Amino acid sequence: MHTSRRDFIAGLGALALMPYARLEADLIFYNGNIFTVSDKLPHAQAVAISNGRFFAVGSNDEILPLATASTRKIDLGWKTVLPGFNDAHSHPCISGVDHLRMVACDKDSIEAIQAALRERAQKTAPGQWVLGFLYDDGKTPHPINRHDLDAAVPGHPVLIHHRGGHTVFVNSLALKTAGVDDSTPDPTGGRFERDSSGHLTGFVGDAAVRVFDKFIEDNPTRDDYRKGAALISRMFAARGVTSACDADCDPEGVQGYQDARDAGELRFRVYAHIGARFVDRYIAAGIHTGFGDDWVRVGGVKQYADGSISERTAWLSQPYIGISNNYVGLQLSTREQLLETARKVHAAGWQLATHANGDLAIDRILDVYEQVQREMPRRDPRFRIEHCTLPTDSAIQRMRTLGVIPVPFSAYVYFHGDVMHFYGEQRTERMFPMRSYLDAGLRPPDSSDYTASPSDPMMWMQSQVTRTDMKGNVWGANQRITIEEAVRCGTANGAYASFEENTKGSIEPGKLADLVVLGQDPFKADASSLVKIPVERTMLGGKWSYES
């Protein structure tokens, strides 16, 4: 029986369609192994796209007849298609700017880092700083120290950022320039590490890092921010990421994303948390969470309760293992400071997004969230706890009651296995507790905290499904989740965490046409080699943002 296209569309009962006056498919994918992350139709073979959005999803037989003479048809050859991934906590713009001007120190030998620094120093004017980033002390045979750096670059001050973002490694000239010596006391919330004989090692933690700020000429231009945003969005797109939350954006970063969008250079969508130190400027302008468009949107307000996991500064109730003096990490804000900001921004219509890793930090911010919601009840505030690494069972129950969204590190077990022993096997059974979160009915998204770990959804999946690190050690097998759950966290839950579940996170009619085509089906692949699955193509709003 022959039916016209109009009759066919009218007859599509089960198939949901976009309420478009004119249904013209610009593009149809068919012969696909499409996992939609939609409960209405979890698996599909074909999808039609119009004006940058999905408008029909179904079988080949249902979708192919929607083609008109101008429709481009792409045979997927039964490749696996997933919704585009959402990196719900990362630092893209500033990392992009860093990629433009700093030495990448993500190398596993001290010699290789020294060589890269030496090369940069040769091109750097005397007295100017040589800066590095992406360094991870767990990946080199010993943490790089002042003497390693002096040997490579004696004539310039050197400062290398740990990829976690909270600590740095400096050479002797950097310490001298900043007036820091063996007798300098540690500032509140920070430390200058000393060896057993009391000499500075060159490792500088948290608040102490600020002593170097005023000596380093660090003023990227507006154009640098645009270029940085564009560069990093290309890097993320190559891994299948179509949306990212910038977890602590400064106004220059917001502008950089906008400039990159205006120039047609932005390859992902951004939800930008605003650092608490800038929020008054936005409040004065009448802006709160949700302002913006599908490309660049204002997110929550970011503040910090404690330090980091990868750099062992998270604030814990029980001491770290193998660090002296019953060290329990660092508090970065008092309860009163957190509460003051929370009251102000909650009243002004902002989502709260507080960095809290350790159990004590999580309890502290939950106290604050409960209090502001008691004082000023707001419907669906979607309080976020950024990282939320080590909650107690009772914290998870409180989160459930309050509808809090934990935003855990997704690749840490795999990528940072080398620091897990500081927490110990027992504690890692409660770290990044995805199984516990999902069982409690919470909706954790996925995140990299890039530069802290790679923005790589395949690595997130492997880490969460296997709970196994690069060397094969298992940490907290009780927290394993399924591939299907991991995909949902990395897509739909990311959209929910930014109030965008109606526009993205699944392949459904009406949603933005953001998707990824994989070289292998993760549901059929060996769980211990998910990280090797290639991303072949990434689509953003109906256009390829990456093609391998």
Binding residues vs Zn ion (CB under 5 A) = 247, 449
Q: Shortest gap between Cβ of 449 and Zn ion (angstroms)?
A: 4
Q: What is d(CA 137, CA 145) in angstroms, rounded to the nearest whole number?
A: 10
For residue 112, the one-letter residue type is: A
For residue 355, the one-letter residue type is: H
- Residues 6 or more apart in contact with residue 477 via CB below 8 angstroms: 467
Return the structure tokens found at 322: 């193998």
Pick 247 or 513: Cβ nearer Zn ion: 247
191: number of Cβ within 10 Å: 18
Q: Shortest gap between Cβ of 548 and Zn ion (angstroms)?
A: 28
Q: How far is CA 312 from the centre of its chain?
A: 19
Q: Compute, in degrees rounded to 10, the torsion defined by CA atoms 420, 449, 406, 374.
A: 120
For residue 358, the one-letter residue type is: G
Pick 94 or 178: Cβ nearer Zn ion: 94
Q: Shortest gap between Cβ of 198 and Zn ion (angstroms)?
A: 33
Q: What is d(CA 489, CA 86) in angstroms, rounded to the nearest whole number?
A: 9
Q: Shortest gap between Cβ of 378 and Zn ion (angstroms)?
A: 25
Q: Shortest gap between Cβ of 354 and Zn ion (angstroms)?
A: 11
Pick 202 or 358: Cβ nearer Zn ion: 358
Q: Shortest gap between Cβ of 326 and Zn ion (angstroms)?
A: 27
Q: What are phi and psi of 403, to 5 degrees?
A: 70, 35
Nearest Cα to Cα of residue 515 among 4, 7, 35: 35
Q: Are 452 and 166 in contact (CB under 8 A)?
A: no
Where helices occur in 296-423 by DSSP H, the ranges are 335-347, 359-375, 393-402, 412-415
Q: Shortest gap between Cβ of 106 and Zn ion (angstroms)?
A: 17
Pick 54 or 409: Cβ nearer Zn ion: 409
Pick 449 or 456: Cβ nearer Zn ion: 449
Residue with tokens 């429709």: 71
Q: Are strands 158-162 and 167-170 parallel, antiparallel or unpaired?
A: antiparallel
Cross-strand pairs, 537? 517, 547
Pick 45 or 90: Cβ nearer Zn ion: 90
Q: What is d(CA 548, CA 545) in angstroms, rounded to the nearest whole number?
A: 10
Q: Shortest gap between Cβ of 90 and Zn ion (angstroms)?
A: 7
Q: Are 527 and 474 in contact (CB under 8 A)?
A: no
Q: What is d(CA 253, CA 240) in angstroms, rounded to the nearest whole number?
A: 22
Q: Shortest gap between Cβ of 241 and Zn ion (angstroms)?
A: 16
Residue with tokens 């507006």: 222
Pick 130 or 353: Cβ nearer Zn ion: 353
Q: Shortest gap between Cβ of 107 and Zn ion (angstroms)?
A: 22
For residue 542, the one-letter residue type is: G
Return the structure tokens found at 244: 């990212």
Identify the DSSP state of 493. I
Pick 26 or 449: Cβ nearer Zn ion: 449
Q: Shortest gap between Cβ of 495 and Zn ion (angstroms)?
A: 19
Pick 449 or 536: Cβ nearer Zn ion: 449
Q: What is d(CA 248, CA 270) in angstroms, rounded to the nearest whole number?
A: 12
Q: Shortest gap between Cβ of 250 and Zn ion (angstroms)?
A: 13
> Which helix (DSSP H) or strand (DSSP E) does residue 283 occupy?
helix 279-284
Q: Are 61 and 29 in contact (CB under 8 A)?
A: no
Pick 84 or 165: Cβ nearer Zn ion: 165
Pick 130 or 247: Cβ nearer Zn ion: 247
Q: How far apart are the first and last CA of the chain?
A: 42
Q: Shortest gap between Cβ of 542 and Zn ion (angstroms)?
A: 31
Burial of 3 from C-beta contacts in 10 A (0-12 / 13-18 / 19+): exposed
Q: What is d(CA 315, CA 333) in angstroms, rounded to the nearest whole number?
A: 11
Q: Are 370 and 398 in contact (CB under 8 A)?
A: yes
Pick 95 or 145: Cβ nearer Zn ion: 95
Pick 94 or 442: Cβ nearer Zn ion: 94
